[in-house]
Amino acid sequence: MENLWAPWRSAYILTDHKDRGCVFCHAVKDSVEEDEKNLLVYRGQTCFCILNKYPYSGGHVMVCPNEHTDDISSMSPDSMVEFMTMIGRAQAVLKKEMTPEGFNIGANFGKAAGAGIKGHFHMHIVPRWVGDVNFMSVTSDARVISMALNDVYKRIKCGMDSMYGM
């Protein structure tokens, strides 16, 4: 049997996650100077865009409301407009910077639907390429992400800043 080494995951595994609160709320409440550490690539008035720390594929981003809510219907009309606009902007930046051949865009509401972070609603934008799911996913329940997270952060952040300002 071969080993797949993923030492970057040890920081997550060794962290005490009890009482840490919402990862999205922490990221948006931290200072702008902490954005790279938090993988936050764009701040709007009522929503923000953040890279997924454990992506399905390189460039996997999420759009979240600043407000901690698990119910999309509780968002104000202005927040809803910015939320949907930011999803479109994130997709446009990913298209330009990553040149994917397709996208999955969606959300999971509640534990039964597969929500990993149940209390803070968010939308996933996942760039896809033909053949990005290969034998590793099927035979060993593992994904191979061919892009370093910090490199992807710089590309997406630069793309968001140049296309939409910050």
Give the domain CATH number at 133: 3.30.428.10
In-domain check, residue 93: yes
99 is in which domain, residue-wise?
Answer: 28-164
Q: State the pLDDT at residue 28.
A: 96
pLDDT one-digit tens code per residue, 39-80: 999 999 999 999 999 888 889 999 999 999 988 899 999 999
In-domain check, residue 13: no
In-domain check, residue 14: no
Write the secondary structure of 91-113 as one string of H (helix), E (strand) and C (coil).
HHHHHHHHCCCEEEEECCCCHHH
In-domain check, residue 136: yes
In-domain check, residue 11: no
The total number of structural domains in the chain stands at 1
Q: What's the predicted TM-score (pTM) here? A: 0.81
pLDDT one-digit tens code per residue, 104-134: 999 888 778 777 787 898 999 999 988 776 5
Q: State the pLDDT at residue 7.
A: 66
Name the burial class of residue 148, with classes exposed (0-12), middle (13-18) and buried (19+) by CB atoms within 10 angstroms of its CB.
exposed
In-domain check, residue 4: no
In-domain check, residue 143: yes
- Strand ranges, E, within 3-112: 40-43, 47-51, 61-65, 102-106
Residue whose structure tokens are 């969606």: 106
In-domain check, residue 141: yes
